[in-house]
Structure 1
Amino acid sequence: MVGPRLLLLSAWLCVAPVAALAEGCADAFAEGRRPEIINPKLAERAVPLCYEAFAVLHSGLSRTPLYAAERLTRDSVAAARRVDRIDAFHDEDALPAADRARLDDYARSGYDRGHMAPAGDMPTGVAQAQSFSLANIVPQDRALNRGLWAAIEESVRRLATRRGTLYVVTGPIYSGDAVQAINGRVLVPTQLFKALYDPATGEAGAYLMANQDNPPWQAVSVDTLRTVSGLDVFPMLVSTAKVRAMDLPEPRAYSRGEPEGDERPRRRAPQTDSFESWAKDQLHRALRRLWRDLMRAIF
């Protein structure tokens, strides 16, 4: 007899397909053009992966993404806010075993498993499940991941809501001669970046910071980012847009339910005292908690 955990795992795999080894995901890239590798060392053992809501260029040398690209829209951000987060980190089976990170690489490493394409950006449950692939993850300082980096991710979502559409490219930088590796396999970034492009205004720029506790952040131009990262994240941009950094929102923590952008608080729906409505709500909450617990036990 098949156990309930195996059945649940099978159901999960049915809704969370592995990445496609393909040159697809054109919608994730501004004008359909992928970031270009300027530093030829980055190209070795680099594999493009296509997911439902984002694309990754994965490095078999660092066993991390070189970048993750996504298109954020007002509608996709609104949809993502309706998806409950279920942490389910997993190895990427679409990659060769020798070139991919493993869950045990991160165990007791002292680093968070930091998303490049954030789980909070994912507009469906399937897309969110895919975002937990280790092909989309880097070793990230815990305080940074849970503080400044989370604030940047939320500030970018809110900017996308205000402006309508943003293209976002996020990635690690490995600089210097003493780059560390967790478990002797997965390289630890020395810096991280998140680059934005607004197709309506033609503006672009990037957040750049060290991968450490409470670092200062910089707003840099795409041209400056090209120099430090070895990537031209938006190759279709005209030179004048590449050398000037757009005004980026100051990263800040938002309280739960705080209105987006310039939106005014909406009136609350009339409260119902129906026992049936209350019972349905409680059942839904219990099922969500059970689902999270089972996913964590499996993965």
Structure 2
Amino acid sequence: MSGPAQAQTCSEQFAEGMRPDLVNPKLARQATPLCYAAFALLHSGVSRTPIYAAERLTRSSVAAARAVDRVDDFHDEDALPEAERAHLEDYVRSGFDRGHMAPAGDMPTRAAQAQSFTLANIVPQDRAVNRGLWAAIEESVRRLATARGTLFVVTGPVYAGDSVQAINGRVLVPTQLFKALYDPARGEAGAYLVPNRDDAEWRAVSLAELRGVAGLDVFPGLPDSVKRRAMDLPEPRTYSRGDEAGGPPRGRTREPDTFEAWARNQLHRLARRLWRDLMRAIF
């Protein structure tokens, strides 16, 4: 497994070849750009998480990624200073998942997938969100890239408020997560914004609104008219590999087809909440 390049490279991962602008100057403190085989990121030595991860998804790269079986290989990032990087032990009994910003499921080769498990690409993520809504967003974005041909994607955390939590006293826990998309063929863009908590609901925001929330201009080369209008984002849903591309009607929620389906869904949500509370009480 080869490591990243600490350089201003990876220009192919950025729309118009331009890295996101740090509108909030605080984000620039101890920030290190890293370039990997299939994604680029900017890492913060303050939060010990990525500030953002950038990818260029194509129809062919998504198809190649579907042929790569997932093999978990979380590891410290040796390219970063010891004091500025997260360690595997930081996440032990933290109550949080190790959440990818550039998803393992986007990686078109085994080597690229292994690189995605660097802790430089990871944030502490609520377990229910990571395995439910966020996974559905990631898969829906891959489906959209397959349908559209090419998408530029920038994913990252948001830390809002004066009392942000830290696991092991070192790694900051995001209050929200975003995934911004740009379709260069149609000239439209927008972002998913998701609270980092159980039973979170997503909302679509424009790049202009995201700039105020995250302190980032994720696609600085785009005209203001594109940044002000949020594109029609696909409803997050899970798929099996045999499913055809598509999804339910637009909207934030999908009504179950029957009362029995609704009841099962409610019981599942309650069970997840009780399990989360139990795990946090134990650990």
For normalisation by structure 2, the TM-score amounts to 0.86
Runs (4+) of structure 1 exceeding 3 A deviation are none
1:155 alignment counterpart: 140
Q: Is 1:39 equivalent to 2:63 in the alignment?
A: no
Q: Deviations over 1:243-274 (max 9, x none)?
A: 00000000011134112359xxxxxxxxxxxx
Q: What's the counterpart of residue 121 of structure 1?
A: 106
Is the Cα–Cα contact under 8 Å of residues 194 and 206 in structure 1 kept in the other structure?
yes
Answer yes or no: is 1:187 the counterpart of 2:172.
Answer: yes
Aligned counterparts, 1:256-295, within 5 A:
256-261=241-246
For the residues of structure 2 that align with 1:103 and 1:228, how far apart are their CA atoms?
29
Shift in Å at residue 18 of structure 1? 1.0
2:36 aligns to what?
Answer: 51
Q: Which residue of 2 aligns with 1:270?
A: none
Following superposition, the deviation at residue 209 of structure 1 comes to: 1.2
In 2, Cα distance between equivalents of 1:45 and 1:193: 22
Aligned match for 2:212, one of 219, 222, 227: 227
Q: What is residue 284 of structure 1 aligned with on the other side?
A: none
Greater gyration radius = 1
Query: Alignment partner for residue 84 of structure 1, among 69, 81, 85?
Result: 69
* Counterparts of 1:55 and 1:227, CA distance in 2: 23
* Residue in structure 2 matched with residue 242 of structure 1 by the alignment: 227
The CA distance in 2 between the partners of 1:214 and 1:114, in whole Å, is 16
CA distance in 2, matches of 1:78, 1:33: 26
Query: Alignment partner of 1:154: what SS?
Result: helix
Correspondent of 1:167 among 131, 152, 155:
152
Verify the 8 A CA contact 1:161 1:261 in the aligned structure 2.
no
Between stretches 250-259 and 225-234, larger displacement belongs to: 250-259
Contact 1:162 1:261 in 2 (8 A): no
Matches within 5 A, 1:100-119: 100-119=85-104
**1:4 matched residue in structure 2:** none
Query: Is residue 202 from structure 1 mapped to residue 192 from structure 2 by the alignment?
Result: no
The superposition leaves residues 81-138 of structure 1 with CA deviations (integer Å, 9 ceiling, x where unpaired) of 0001000000000000000000000000000000000000000001000000000000
1:135 matched to which residue of 2? 120
Distance 2:110 2:191 in 1: 28
Aligned equivalent of 1:277: none
Q: Which amino acid aligns with 1:228?
A: V
Output one character per residue of 1:153-190: Cα deviation in whole Å (capped at 9) or x when no partner.
00000000000000000000000001000000000000
Q: How much is the aligned-residue C-alpha RMSD, in angstroms?
A: 0.9
Which TM-score applies when normalising by structure 1?
A: 0.82
1:144 is matched with 129
Equivalent residue, structure 2, for 1:211 = 196
Question: Deviation at 1:23?
Answer: 0.5
Identity of aligned residues (%): 74
> Structure 2 counterpart of 1:26, which letter?
S
TM superposition shift of 1:192: 0.2
| Letter matched to residue 140 of structure 1 | Q
* Matched letter for residue 147 of structure 1: G
> How far is 1:233 from its partner?
0.1
Aligned to 1:3: none
State the match for 1:253 in structure 2.
Answer: 238
Q: Distance in 2 between matches of 1:123 and 1:255?
A: 18
Structure 1 position 53, deviation (Å): 0.2
Give the distance between the partners of 2:238 and 2:25, measured in 1 at CA.
38
CA distance in 2, matches of 1:36, 1:92: 24
Opposite residue 19 of structure 1, the aligned amino acid is P
Instruction: Please state how far the C-alpha of 1:19 moved relative to its aligned partner.
Output: 1.1
Retained in 2: the 8 A contact 1:47–1:59? yes
Separation (CA, whole Å) in 2 of partners of 1:260 and 1:74: 12
